[in-house]
Amino acid sequence: MTRFAMGLDFGTESVRALVVDCDRGREVAEAVSPYAHGVISKTLPGKKKPLPLDFALQHPGDYIESTRKAVRQVLKSAPASKIVGIGVDFTACTILPIRRDGMPLMLLPRFRKNPHAWVKLWKHHAAQPEADRVNEVGRARREPLLKYYSGLISSEWMVPKCMEIARKAPDVYRAADLIVDAGDWLVFQLTGQFTRNACAAGYKGLWNSKLGFPSKSFLGALDPRVRNLADKWLKNIVVPGRRAGLVSREFARKSGLRAGTPVSAATIDAHSGVSGMGVSGEGTLSIIMGTSSCHMVLSRKLRLFNGYAGVTKDGIIPGFYGYESGQNAVGDVFAWFTRDFLGAPFDRLSKKARLLKPGQSGLVALDWLNGARSVLMNANLSGMVLGLTLSSKPEEVYRALIEGTAFGTKIIVEAYRDNGVPVRELAVCGGLVKDPLILQIYADIIGLPVRVAASNQAVALGAAIFGAVAAGKEAGGFATASEAIAKMTRPPAATYKPDRAAAKVYRQLFETYRKCHDFFGREQTALMVGLKKLMRRA
Amino acid sequence: MTRFAMGLDFGTESVRALVVDCDRGREVAEAVSPYAHGVISKTLPGKKKPLPLDFALQHPGDYIESTRKAVRQVLKSAPASKIVGIGVDFTACTILPIRRDGMPLMLLPRFRKNPHAWVKLWKHHAAQPEADRVNEVGRARREPLLKYYSGLISSEWMVPKCMEIARKAPDVYRAADLIVDAGDWLVFQLTGQFTRNACAAGYKGLWNSKLGFPSKSFLGALDPRVRNLADKWLKNIVVPGRRAGLVSREFARKSGLRAGTPVSAATIDAHSGVSGMGVSGEGTLSIIMGTSSCHMVLSRKLRLFNGYAGVTKDGIIPGFYGYESGQNAVGDVFAWFTRDFLGAPFDRLSKKARLLKPGQSGLVALDWLNGARSVLMNANLSGMVLGLTLSSKPEEVYRALIEGTAFGTKIIVEAYRDNGVPVRELAVCGGLVKDPLILQIYADIIGLPVRVAASNQAVALGAAIFGAVAAGKEAGGFATASEAIAKMTRPPAATYKPDRAAAKVYRQLFETYRKCHDFFGREQTALMVGLKKLMRRA
A60-75 vs A182-191: helix crossing angle, rounded to 10: 50
d(CA A427, CA A277): 7
pLDDT for B23 equals 95
Per-residue pLDDT, A367 = 98
pLDDT tens profile A221-234: 999 999 999 999 99
What pLDDT was estimated at residue A379?
87
For residue B536, give every residue at least 6 positions away whose Cβ sits within 8 Å of its Cβ, in sequence order, or none. Answer: none
pLDDT given at position A13: 96
Q: CB-CB: which of A359, A519, A532 is closest to B537?
A: A359
Minimum distance, in Å, between the CA of residue A101 and any CA atom of chain B = 43
- B329: closest CA of chain A, how far (Å): 9
Rounded alpha-carbon distances, angstroms, from residue B406 to A110, A447, B365? 59, 42, 10
Q: Are A271 and A96 in contact (CB under 8 A)?
A: no
Interchain pair A530, B538: CB under 8 A: no
CA separation, residue A512 to residues A415, B366, B389, B529 (Å) = 17, 17, 21, 11
Say which of B359, B527, B538 has its CB closest to residue A537: B359
The full 3-state SS of A446-492, as one line of letters, equals: HCCCEEECCCCCHHHHHHHHHHHHHHCHHHCCCCCHHHHHHHHCCCC
Q: Give the percent of chain B with pLDDT over 90.
A: 97
Average pLDDT on A129-135 reads 96
Give me the DSSP letters along A181-219: EHHHHHHHHHHS---EEHHHHHHHS--BTTTBSPPHHHH
Partners of residue A528 in chain B, C-beta under 8 Å: 386-387
Using the Cα atoms of residue A521, residue A525, residue A531 and residue A535 in order, give the sign of their dihedral.
positive
Chain A residues near residue B336 by CB distance under 8 angstroms: 390-392
| Residues in B touching A408 (Cβ below 8 Å) | none
Cβ A172 vs Cβ A162: under 8 Å: no
- Min CA distance, B383 vs chain A (Å)? 4
- A377 pLDDT band, cuts 50/70/90, is confident
A357 to chain B: which residues are within 8 Å by CB? 538
Is residue B273 within a helix (H) or strand (E), and if so which, with residue range?
helix B269-276
**Which is nearest to A480 in space by CA: A241, A196, A237, A238?**
A241
pLDDT of amino acid A346:
87
Q: Which amino acid is at B48?
A: K
> Which of chain B's residues have a Cβ under 8 Å away from the Cβ of A369?
388-390, 392
- CB-based contact A14:A187 (threshold 8 Å): no
- pLDDT at residue B538 is higher than 90: no
Cβ contact (<8 Å) for B369 and A392? Answer: yes
**Mean pLDDT, rounded, for B475-479:** 96
**Chain B: residue whose CA lies nearest to A532:** B362
Neighbours of B473 (CB within 10 A): 12
Task: Give B384's contacts in chain A (Cβ within 8 Å).
Answer: 384-388
DSSP 3-state assignment of B119?
strand
Which residues have CB under 8 Å from A229's CB, separation 6+?
A159, A162, A163, A166, A179, A214, A219
Closest residue of chain B to A379, computed from CA coordinates: B389
Reported as a pLDDT band with limits 50, 70 and 90, residue B450 is very high
Which alpha helices (DSSP H) does A330-457 contain, by range? 331-335, 346-354, 394-418, 436-446
Interface A-B: count of C-beta contacts within 8 A: 143
- Domains of chain A, first to last: 4-271+458-488 (3.30.420.40), 331-416+499-537 (3.30.420.40)
Condensed to tens digits (0 to 9), the pLDDT of residues B381-429 reads 999 999 999 999 999 999 999 999 999 999 999 999 999 999 999 999 9
Say if the Cβ atoms of A520 and B394 lie within 8 Å.
no
8 Å CB contact of A512 and B505: no
CA atoms within 13 A on the CB side of B222: 29
Residue A159 CA to residue A149 CA, distance in Å, equals: 14
User: How near does any CA of chain B get to the CA of A408, in Å?
Assistant: 16
Distance of CA B511 to the CA centre of its chain: 29
What gap in Å lies between CA B244 and CA B235, rounded to an integer? 13
Distance to chain B for A344, nearest Cα, Å: 9
Nearest CA in chain A to B504: A534
DSSP three-state, residue A145? helix
Our CA-based measurement puts residue A336 at a distance from the nearest CA of chain B, in whole angstroms, of: 6
Query: Which bin fits B54, alpha (ψ -120 to 50), beta or left (φ > 0)?
Result: left
A537 — pLDDT class (breaks 50, 70, 90)? confident
pLDDT, tens only, B49-72: 999 989 999 999 999 999 999 999
Q: How far apart are alpha carbons B404 and B332 in whole angstroms?
A: 13
* Amino acid B346: pLDDT: 87
A517, A531, A537, best to mutate vs chain B, most B CBs in 10 Å: A531
For strand B4-10 and strand B14-21, is the pairing parallel, antiparallel, or unpaired? antiparallel
- In terms of phi and psi (left: phi > 0; alpha: psi -120 to 50; beta: otherwise), the region of A366 is beta
Q: What backbone phi and psi angles, to 5 degrees, belong to A334? A: -65, -40
Measured distance CA(B27)–CA(A497) in Å, rounded: 70
Q: With bands split at pLDDT 50, 70 and 90, how would you rate the model's confidence at B1? A: confident
DSSP annotation string for B335-391: HIIIIIII---HHHHHHHHHTPPTTTT--EEE--BTBB-TTT-BTT--EEEEEE-TT
CA–CA separation, A476 vs A6, rounded Å? 13
Q: How confident is the model at residue A307 (pLDDT cuts 50, 70, 90)?
A: confident
Q: pLDDT averaged over chain B?
A: 97
Q: Do A387 and B531 touch (CB under 8 A)?
A: yes
Supply the DSSP string of A45-79, one letter for each residue.
TT--SBPPTT--EE-HHHHHHHHHHHHHHHHTTS-
Nearest CA in chain A to B506: A534
Q: How far is B530 from chain A (nearest CA, A)?
A: 8
Give the helix ranges, DSSP H, for B123-242: 128-140, 158-168, 170-175, 182-191, 198-204, 216-222
Q: What is the pTM of this model?
A: 0.94
Tell whether omega for the bond before B375 is within 30 degrees of 0, i.e. cis. yes
User: Residue A136: what pLDDT?
Assistant: 97
Closest Cα in chain B, distance from residue A377 (Å): 16
* Strand-pair partners of B395: none
Residue of chain A whose alpha carbon sits nearest to that of B358:
A538
Of the candidates A264, A273, A319, the residue with the CA atom closest to the CA atom of residue A296: A273
Whole-angstrom distance, CA of residue A232 vs CA of residue A214: 13
B208 and B148 in contact (C-beta within 8 Å)? yes
Do A527 and B512 count as a contact with CB atoms less than 8 A apart?
Answer: yes
Which of A92, A125, A104 minimizes the C-alpha distance to A203? A92
Q: What is the C-alpha separation between A523 and A370, in angstroms, rounded?
A: 20
Candidate from A333, A384, A535 with C-beta closest to B384: A384
What secondary structure, in 3-state letters, does B495-512 show? EECCCHHHHHHHHHHHHH
Counting every residue written for chain A, the total comes to: 538
Kindly report the CA angle at A44 between A167 and A369, in degrees rounded to 5?
A: 75
Give CA–CA dist B387/B442, Å, rounded: 21
| Residue in chain B lying closest to A369 (CA) | B389
Contact B531 A519 (CB under 8 A): no
Question: Rounded to whole angstroms, how far apart are CA atoms A75 and A167?
Answer: 45
- Out of B357, B515, B535, the one facing A538 most closely (by C-beta) is B357
CA distance A378 to A531: 14
Contact A512 B527 (CB under 8 A): yes
Distance CA B86, CA B219 (A): 35
Which residues from B are below 8 Å from A370, CB to CB? 389-390
Cβ contact, residue pair A390, B516, below 8 Å: no
- Whether residue B266 contacts residue B243, with contact meaning beta carbons closer than 8 Å, is answered with no
8 Å CB contact between A287 and A110: no
DSSP structural state of residue A242: S
pLDDT of residue A446: 98
pLDDT (0 to 100) of residue B463 = 98
Q: C-alpha angle with apex A392: A389 to A394, nearest 5 degrees?
A: 150
The 8-class DSSP code of residue A235 comes to: -
How many Cα atoms are found within 13 Å in the side-chain-facing hemisphere of A261? 30
Whether residue B390 and residue A332 make contact (CB cut-off 8 A), yes or no, is yes
Closest CA to B324 of B266, B375, B381, B380: B375
- Nearest CB among A362, A386, A519 relative to B535 is that of A362
Locate the chain B residue with the closest alpha carbon to A343: B342
Q: pLDDT tens across A435-462, in order?
A: 999 999 999 999 999 999 999 999 999 9
What are B151-180's pLDDT values in tens digits? 999 999 999 999 999 999 999 999 999 999
Query: A508 and B383: CB-CB below 8 Å?
Result: no
Query: What is the pLDDT confidence band of residue B214, given thresholds at 50, 70 and 90?
Result: very high
Question: What is the band of A344 on the pLDDT scale with cuts at 50, 70, 90?
Answer: confident
Minimal Cβ distance to B534: which of A382, A508, A538: A508
Which residues in chain A are closer than 8 Å to B509, comparing Cβ atoms? 531, 534
Give the C-alpha separation, B137 to A483, whole Å. 73
Q: How far is CA B3 from CA A202, A297, B70, B468, in A?
A: 91, 86, 20, 9
Residue A123 confidence (pLDDT): 93
User: What span, in angstroms and rounded, lies between the C-alpha atoms of B499 and A238?
Assistant: 63
Count helices and strands (H / E) in chain A. Answer: 17, 22
Q: Are residues B520 and A383, on separate chains, in Cβ contact within 8 Å?
A: no
Q: Does the beta-carbon distance from B538 to A370 stay under 8 Å?
A: no
The string of DSSP letters for A277-293 reads TT--STEEEEEEESSSE
Closest-CA residue in chain B for A501? B538
User: What pLDDT score was predicted for residue A538?
Assistant: 83
CB–CB contact B535 A332 (8 Å): no
Q: Give CA–CA dist B416/B437, Å, rounded.
A: 25
Give the gap in angstroms from C-alpha B262 to the nearest C-alpha of chain A: 43
pLDDT of residue A532: 94
